[in-house]
Structure 1
Amino acid sequence: IKKTSHEPLCPPGIKCGGVLSAPSGNFSSPNFPRPYPYETECTWLIVVAEGSSVLLSFSHFELEYHAACAYDYLQVYNGAARDQGNLLGTFCGRSAPPPFSSAWHVMAVVFRSDRHVAKRGFTAAYRKDACGGQLTGLSGEIASPRYPESYPSDAECRWSIGGGSGPLTLVFTDFQMEGGQGCIFDYVALFDGPTAAAPHLGRFCGSARPPRTTSSSPHLLVLFKSDFNIGGRGFKAHFYSAGECQEVFTTIKGNFSSPRYPNSYPNNLKCQWSIQLPPGYRVKVFFLDMELEGRSSLTGGCDYDHLAAFDGGSENGSLLGQWCGRESLLPVTSHTNQLLLVLHTDRNTARRGFSIAYVGVVPMNVSCTRTDFHIHIPVQSLAQLERSKVYLGTPSCAAQVVGGNFKIHTRFDTCGTESQKRNNTSVIVSTLYIDFSADDQEDVHQYEVQCEPRRKEASVNLIASPDPARLSQAENLVDAQQRDGAAMDPRETKSQDSSDIVFISICILAGLLMVIAVVGLVLL
């Protein structure tokens, strides 16, 4: 259970803050209309009936001015939690805040003064809006009047939602209304714009929850209407701006972040980023920065805000990981050419969020003998590239196109290969270049190709990709035996075996000559 404290911090004898639960009322800064006291913090928590919203307005406003409101200020929050995801605005100076309509049935107002310069302060009034209203912000919640009790007869409510930069998504979490063919009695209607003149997105009634609905613009109108008899529990729904958190990526590399990053993300979100690459590719995700709400103190799990990765294009795929809190995470690689990332946030406690970069891992089969490298890359994976853009060591060692594959078959003494000692083992190392550069934009991916000749074991590591400073951690992309790679051409296998036979024959011949030489010396 998450707890939120709203204890006012006031000098002794000063009336300041509190819980306001009446349908309407007024409040003001301490001592108004005289100057407010120094070093004071007041929090007013306005709570009206669930299903209603809070309408807040200011009739007088005069605080110490600062360009960033860093000295004396007033803040207005959607909901009870004082975190950046709920913040509607911070105000100071002589310009009064605009009227506010909360997205929930709770609103918090915070006033704070420092130790210098006091002004007259402010007065404010609030009232309960039975239903409907003008809702701004990237996320919020609406409900029918009196929810979860039965809604009243002959009601009509309109919620005009807008204020973000992208489309809005509306998700119903509960729905029970009078049914009927055509939904002509009680119903909820959705419009793709700020008024009922906008295109119609659907009309719903009965007990089946309406589908998730996304507008085509930053505005959405929700209309609730009931007739003179037969009611129901009503509905509850939440909305969020989808413009910053519903994206599909098809390029070989890219990066993205949570909404508002590096500032706090909004509350009550479900964001999806789908990465869809050509067949054969895998998706490797790098977590550059992550700070979400922490784990539950009761369960130890990521029960509140969390980020999850799924193998494939939907949440039905295998879960690759789920994270929360502030962690340094290792890269995650998909098993297919698609990966889905989903961010869930609840209705309070927001953090900085995350920044992510990804790169497509080119499908390839790398093997070696005691004398040669063999590299196969399906042409369809690099369909836009000429063979000269794929080379080992130097451009003169470019790939050949054979049977639907880019193929590089080269001896160890060519193409920039060199012998190294690693972990007391002799290995042959070279660099494979895949040049995706276009329109004067340099984009060269580099893979280190390595062979241990004695064991005939090969591996390949991504060592440089679109942003080497960020994607600095290499991954072994293919295991020594290339278990998940494409099958080798039998003719290639024969060529490897023949080279091994020649190597072994030379060793046997040298051994026989040595024996003959020793016997000759003994006879002499």
Structure 2
Amino acid sequence: MQPPNMRLDILSGDVEGDYPQCVNASLDLYGIDGNQWLQIGRFCGNSSTSPVGPYYSNGIYMKLVFKTGSDTSGTGFRLRVSHSTKKAIPFQSPFCGPRFLNATTHPKILKFPELSKFAPNGETCTWIMTAPDPGMMVRIVVLDSDVQISPDDYFACAYSRVTAYNGPSPSNDTILFWCGNSRPTLQSTGSAMTLQSITRYSNGRKGFTLKYYATNETSICGGTVNLTTDKVTTLTGPYENSSSQDCHWTVRAPDNMNIRIKVRKLKQETEPTNTSTTSDYLELYDGTSTGSTTPGRWWGKSYAYYISSGTVVTARFITGASDTTRGLQMDFKAGHFNTSQEMRLSADYHDKYFVSTNYPFNYPSNVESTWKIQTDDYDQVKIAVIDSRLENSVGCLTDYVEAFDGSDSSAASLGRWCGGSQPNKTSSGSFMFLIFKTNSHTVNSGFRILYMAHYKEIDTDTGFSKVALIVMGTIAGVALLCGLPPAICKCASKRTGVNEGKNNGRSVSNQAPGDTMDTPSTEDNHKRLLNKI
């Protein structure tokens, strides 16, 4: 079956006019939406200097309208049409204003919404900003932002977001996205940038105001950043790099505050098995030092969270000469953030994970964090330590993790570990409690632990599982009440995956995205070990 949409590429074009104005002559492209034609693109000028598609339909039909002016000296255009699964840019409502914006060296203002006091719900707006010269770039500075955010995660942008794309279409690579009161500064690598605002739930938010302009200046990699408490500061690493770079940022919060950071890679990749000079990675230092001690490296496998102990953080982003990744995005917020955690987790028959504070970067000193893991009444909790990099000491008296066979630390200990130890532990009941403690000395990158639910152990006196005995007893009791022999009851006496895939509905507080439901193939051995315990 063929894809339902079409892609149109302008292979060559020489049409009167300067893109994006296209006043006298133009090639306009339309896609059909229901029973109406909607404009999905416009071209004029010379294809060697004007941004050219590709353009996508919203179905199997596309209409082209070619208009000419008094100057007919151009050679026209040559097109190619092919099948595609991508869709055209949505129709632009009056709330959005003009789609095509001409960036000049003099800054211009884009305010959304401009026709109402608050951003409307369910609105998607797209703006394509183009520099006057193909050798120039487009820079955006967000002056004010009030975009709806998720109350559960300040950085999630799950409700509404504004996304910048490196080129004349949302089909181009993402530069960054933002929400809330974040005010990033960003820049394209070519002569065009696309900005798209998706408002799912506005809740009376006022939108954003930014300035945009064309520039010949290369975007600065690194520098000093001073945070304020009224907004999130967003920084990006090199978006496209043809040579290796070593970028340093020194980020400072106001006095008596610390810093919370969320890091995301703009193009997710698998963490390399070996350190390579051609791979991008990020290091975060708690303070101004970037000494010889490596504070853990982040390769972009999933989101990473970091909380500083003081007012200063140093970020170092290393890019490889032959890397094809697209950089990273860091969101900084100043405030009063606790480095110790108290978390409640719900275990089921899926593999889930939790990590120490700041993992894979160095954990803070003087931390005491706890995790209380609960499962169904007739199940057990099992854990496997996937990665452990703690300070090592005799008897694990300095930095350590200890597991308890119950809901708090008053329960019997299941053991304590430190250094590179990677034990497996199983509770006797439906609770397991873990404590992570550090002192004021050596720190390391911490740990990542897999946890899951498992059936109760076999009762060696009877040969049946304890769950089976309870279920069989219940079946027999019901059968006697009905006046029927127990054998007639067709109910299974063992729990063959009744709860598999079932989430028990318990809340998981402070759970970072990417730490649950993540089953990398490199961890299959740990899962097999759990099943054998």
TM-score (norm 2): 0.31
Structure with the greater alpha carbon radius of gyration:
1
TM-score (norm 1): 0.31
